[in-house]
């Protein structure tokens, strides 16, 4: 991936951090983006210490202006983004009956609208270059449904639809668009679960363990590589067999 520019949203922690470190190790110049500048800098420093190249940018996916500004800055600096990983995501769980509209809107705006607007920023450059990779981080629950997560599930099912549509619109320009659907991965997001919820989740996993951020990063690295040149519109499950 030498000389490829890879923009990773939500790269300050968890799965996004692992993706940023992994793409940098594979030779890409990585843009570490999130709305926590200090954490962005920490991840960029880790990349540089390991001999890789990284820059940081402030990105608040709830704000279309912030998205324009962040990509504008990076495109000014590098002229293009070759690989976009739409990884940032949040949960605001509740039963549908009790879910507040503001929690519905917030989750949809970061997880789905944010990914759509970010993709719009990089597509013109990828079309011009006749090469591009967009990789969207979905979720197993976007495929299976999950009680208590109507907003999150809708955002993740939506991103799978977005992936397939962009794949069809952009294929003729040699841009592939794929999704990775993680299952239960050990990050801050899942650390919030109770022991009971954890045990119930793991009971559904044939591999009998939670996944690590690196498991997801490895799948992203493959989809971003030239080895995956003929794969587009695919949803790659990284879920230990939790949903087949």
Which residues make up the interface to ligand NAP (CB under 6 A)? 9-10, 12-16, 34-36, 39, 59-62, 87-90, 110, 137, 139, 182, 184-185, 187-190
Nearest distance, CB of residue 64 and ligand NAP, angstroms? 12
Nearest distance, CB of residue 58 and ligand NAP, angstroms? 9
- What is the DSSP pairing of strand 5-9 with strand 29-34? parallel
Round to whole Å and give the CA distance between 145 and 219: 22
Nearest distance, CB of residue 80 and ligand NAP, angstroms? 21
Round to whole Å and give the CA distance between 1 and 25: 9
Instruction: State the catalytic residues.
Output: 152
């Amino acid at each position: 991936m030498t000389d490829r520019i890879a923009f990773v949203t939500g790269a300050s922690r968890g799965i996004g951090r692992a993706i940023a470190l992994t793409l940098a190790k594979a030779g890409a110049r990585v843009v570490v983006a999130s709305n926590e500048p200090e954490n962005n800098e920490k991840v960029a420093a880790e990349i540089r210490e390991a001999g890789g190249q990284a820059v940081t940018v402030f990105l608040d996916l709830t704000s279309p202006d912030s998205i324009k500004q962040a990509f504008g800055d990076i495109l000014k600096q590098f002229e293009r983004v070759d690989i976009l990983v739409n990884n940032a995501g949040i949960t605001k769980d509740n039963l549908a009956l009790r879910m507040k509209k503001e929690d519905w809107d917030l989750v949809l705006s970061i997880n789905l609208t944010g990914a759509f607007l970010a993709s719009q920023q990089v597509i013109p450059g990828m079309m011009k270059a006749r090469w591009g990779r967009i990789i969207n981080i979905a979720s197993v629950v976007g495929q299976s449904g999950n009680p208590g997560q109507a907003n999150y599930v809708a955002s993740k099912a939506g991103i799978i639809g977005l992936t397939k549509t962009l794949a069809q619109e952009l294929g003729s320009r040699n841009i592939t668009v794929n999704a990775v659907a993680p299952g239960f991965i050990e990050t801050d997001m899942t650390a919030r679960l109770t022991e009971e919820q954890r045990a119930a989740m793991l009971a559904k996993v044939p591999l009998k363990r939670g996944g690590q951020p690196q498991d997801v990063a490895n799948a992203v690295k493959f989809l971003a590589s030239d080895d995956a040149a003929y794969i587009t519109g695919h949803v790659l499950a990284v879920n230990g067999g939790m949903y087949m």
